[in-house]
Amino acid sequence: MKMLKTRKSKQIFYGVLWLLCFLMVNWPIGTMAQRFEPYILGMPFCLFYFWAVYSLLILVGVLVAWRLFRD
């Protein structure tokens, strides 16, 4: 029972974490990043934002696989 509870709470935690990152590239949060200033790593902010959030989403995916996925 304790084992199931632990897994359930892990599922909720990592599920919410992944969903938050996913929401960052979508409306309405993503639309707030639609501007050029400031330039970061030579990129306008809107481009940098997309690459950064997509990279974050990949990292969170790896974390989810490591901590939650079976096998």
Closest separation between CB of residue 54 and other proteins, Å? 6
For residue 40 the two structure tokens come to 């970061």
- What SS3 string covers the chain? CHHHHHHHHHHHHHHHHHHHHHHHCCCCHHHHCCCCCCCECCECHHHHHHHHHHHHHHHHHHHHHHHCCCC
Q: Does 22 bind other proteins (CB under 8 A)?
A: yes
> Is 13 a residue that touches other proteins (CB under 8 A)?
no
Does 62 contact other proteins by CB under 8 A?
yes
Binding site for other proteins (CB under 8 A): 3-4, 6-7, 22, 25-27, 30-31, 34, 36, 39, 42-44, 46-47, 50, 54-55, 57-58, 61-62, 64-65, 69-71
